[in-house]
Structure 1
Amino acid sequence: MTVPLSILDLAPIPSGGTAGDAVRNTVDLARRAESFGYRRYWLAEHHFAAGVASSAPAVLIGLVAAATSRIRVGSGAVQLGHQTPLAVVEQFGLLDAAHPGRIDLGLGRSGQRRAELTRAVSRPPAHEGGGGGRVVDGLLIPPPFDFSALLKVPHLAFQASLLQQPGARTPDFADQLDEVQAFLAGTYTSADGLAAHAVPGEGADVELWILGSSGGQSAQVAGERGLPFAANYHVSPSSVLEAVEAYREAFKPSAVLEEPYVVVSADAVVAGDEATARELAKPYGLWVRSIRTGQGAVPYPSPEEAGAHVWTEEDRRLVADRVDTQFVGDPETVADGLRVLQRVTGADELLITTITHDHADRVRSYELLAQAWH
């Protein structure tokens, strides 16, 4: 089955480039993606990363939607722990007012998820002892990454504190989602019966999505509310099958969906031949290393910069799950790999993220993939 392809963009800043370059590249790529036939174009939310310009997805969505005419544009995902449901609904209501019927509101957990991971630091990792991954019907499922060392980096907690008002508490994700839906429907009331209305936002024709990296609350809530779900193979490949299974098991038909609808993300780099694709993808491991050592995503290195890095065994272990599950090669090779991902996960749509140092190579990668896919 040939399913639609979509794009997840982080607005990457290449080494030697600026945030302005990244934003212009994002707008240009979105225009091209529309002509290539991609279904939707999502913008991620990341903070305190020198190599990523997607700190305000609603702003980028507005720029991209204004530069395109047909492709759906949305968030992958707004982190609800950093904003109130009302603020999110107002932002996306405004986007829908300007670009009706084209806006996706993807929601994810943030502060609540960090707290859970922090509590898990005291527990031994699930793959303690160096156990390997497994291959499921041709798809690599690597061992889970151990976040415990990363969560002990002092400045990460400091950065997280800057994303909320002092003393603020992140509510339960399910409760936040219920508030978002109530504001969109115009049915929000307080515990004592007072009504509140989001303008713009109430009645907005936005498509609501939940994004998740495991079989935890995000997958459960998406299923129970009958909403479409996006599972992250490119960020958390070890738990993608667990996530889609939990979502499907929890699914209940709703006014939105009669049956489960799953998007699965994948990281891919495509070029005219295998050797060129491998060269373009060379910086990816070094970039992932910068994230997992607590630096935050560095400006995306060039292949030459990546080639100068001296890799230790510890470095390689740190990024192995992400590097080993990146789809790299000529168009048919990558398309075949993505078909395996789609078949094993049962995905109804694939969400492709591609980062290269040179913008032209990134555009060409998406073009070649679209041609091989259809």
Structure 2
Amino acid sequence: MSRPRGFPLSVLDVVPVFEGGSATRALRDTVALAPRIEELGYLRYWVAEHHSTPGLATSAPGILAGRLAAATTTLRVGSGGVLLPNHAPLVVAEQFGTLEALHPGRVDLGLGRAPGTDPHTARALRRAPEDGDGFARQVAELNGYFAPGDPASPITAVPAADGRPELWLLGSSTAGAGLAGSLGLPYAFAHQINPHATADALDHYRRSFRPSPYLDRPRTLISALVTVAGTDRAAREVAAPYLLGKTRMRTVRRFDAFPSARTAAGHTYTEAEAQFLDELAGHQLIGAPDTVRGRLADLVARTGADELMALTVVPDQADRLRSFELLAEAARDVRPEPARLRTAP
């Protein structure tokens, strides 16, 4: 189908598990949602990677991306992202090379440097910790499997050598931005993690950018927490279970299933919790369509981002889909800003 006019939109899915649900149900909800997202004209659908986290059913992004590709026809699918320190680059190249062979021109391989889990689970993944520029070395090794050119190499990544998915580097700091720019790769910034650094990171990426065989000019997207409903109050209520879950993660370091809507509605927030939630939600896109439209326009104007990737974590599937519908409507009146470099003060 043709893409709607307006600001380009995509989806980031952490496959959340809520009280009373299960990882199996969360995975099935994700697969059911993807075709609806495609109908709305979104560009891509990425799934994250987390391990030993009962509240997030995203331990195998390659497998899930393949299922999403099979459930859709035009939507780009991929990882947001594969956490490369957990994996041998050859295995990642083989997996995503296979996806690209089966779904040519529709596969994205987003790469992150974080382990996405605790030290005990990281050791169970059988990868030794990398030092210094280990992530940069892994990215270079992985990229080489998609463009074999060393006749002395005894390794052939089948079928990665036949086709290359679109590689993205993910980050939440200027360090990742600089690496993405120097390699001439597109860059995805996690605004939901570090909103205060978004503009600086994208600016640093553009300053660091060097054209490559894969990309001739900078290309960016921002992932952000997005919840849209009929009113600002309704949107905050819909988002409340996720926000309360984030509070628990921060205060007691628990990563259990997210609270239900009923639990969130009955929770009495301390002053510290309320301040934390106001700070978290205040930098994200949570509200009525007009509110979100204004916040999106401001975010695009400040950062020059080329695309928004919406992270919408709500317990009710109908509320989730409705949020994506309302976001698509709100984004029609927002236009991309010409990329520019800001002058440092």
TM more than 0.5: yes
Q: 2:215 pairs with 257, 280, 287, which one?
A: 257
- SS class of match (1:76): strand
Aligned to 2:23: 19
Q: How many Å apart are 1:371 and its aligned residue?
A: 2.1
CA contact (8 A) 2:101 2:162 kept: no
Q: How many Å apart are 1:284 and its aligned residue?
A: 2.6
| Distance verdict in 2 for CA 1:232–1:62, change over 3 Å | same
Letter of the 1:354 counterpart: T
Q: How many Å apart are 1:259 and its aligned residue?
A: 1.2
Are positions 1:170 and 2:174 aligned together?
no
Q: Deviations over 1:140-189 (max 9, x none)?
A: xxxxxxxxxxxxxxx93323332334xx2426111111111110001357
| Distance verdict in 2 for CA 1:241–1:294, change over 3 Å | farther
Q: How many Å apart are 1:87 and its aligned residue?
A: 0.7
| Inter-partner Cα distance in structure 2 for 1:224 and 1:12 | 34
Q: How many Å apart are 1:301 and its aligned residue?
A: 1.8
Identical amino acids, percent of aligned pairs:
44
- Please list, as runs of the form range in 1=range in 2, the aligned pairs for 1:53-132 lying within 5 A after superposition: 53-111=57-115
Letter of the 2:159 counterpart: P
CA contact (8 A) 2:100 2:164 kept: yes
Aligned to 1:136: none
- Please list, as runs of the form range in 1=range in 2, the aligned pairs for 1:140-289 lying within 5 A after superposition: 156-165=118-127, 168-170=128-130, 172-187=134-149, 193-216=152-175, 218-289=176-247
CA contact (8 A) 2:16 2:57 kept: yes
| Inter-partner Cα distance in structure 2 for 1:323 and 1:284 | 11
Letter of the 1:68 counterpart: T
CA contact (8 A) 2:228 2:324 kept: yes
CA contact (8 A) 1:10 1:52 kept: yes
What is the CA RMSD across the aligned residues, in angstroms? 2.0
CA contact (8 A) 1:210 1:229 kept: yes
Q: How many Å apart are 1:205 and its aligned residue?
A: 3.3
Letter of the 1:62 counterpart: G
| Inter-partner Cα distance in structure 1 for 2:101 and 2:74 | 15
Unpaired runs of at least 5, structure 1: 115-154
| Inter-partner Cα distance in structure 2 for 1:78 and 1:49 | 16
Aligned to 1:313: 271
- Please list, as runs of the form range in 1=range in 2, the aligned pairs for 1:287-306 lying within 5 A after superposition: 287-293=245-251, 295-306=253-264
TM-score by structure 1 length? 0.82
- SS class of match (1:77): strand
TM-score by structure 2 length? 0.89
Letter of the 2:210 counterpart: K
Q: How many Å apart are 1:232 and its aligned residue?
A: 1.0
| Inter-partner Cα distance in structure 2 for 1:164 and 1:321 | 37
Are positions 1:368 and 2:326 aligned together?
yes
Unpaired runs of at least 5, structure 2: 333-345
Greater CA drift, 52-61 or 330-339: 330-339
Q: How many Å apart are 1:315 and its aligned residue?
A: 3.1
Q: Count how many residue pairs are aligned between Structure 1 and Structure 2.
A: 326
Q: How many Å apart are 1:227 and its aligned residue?
A: 0.6
CA contact (8 A) 1:277 1:329 kept: yes
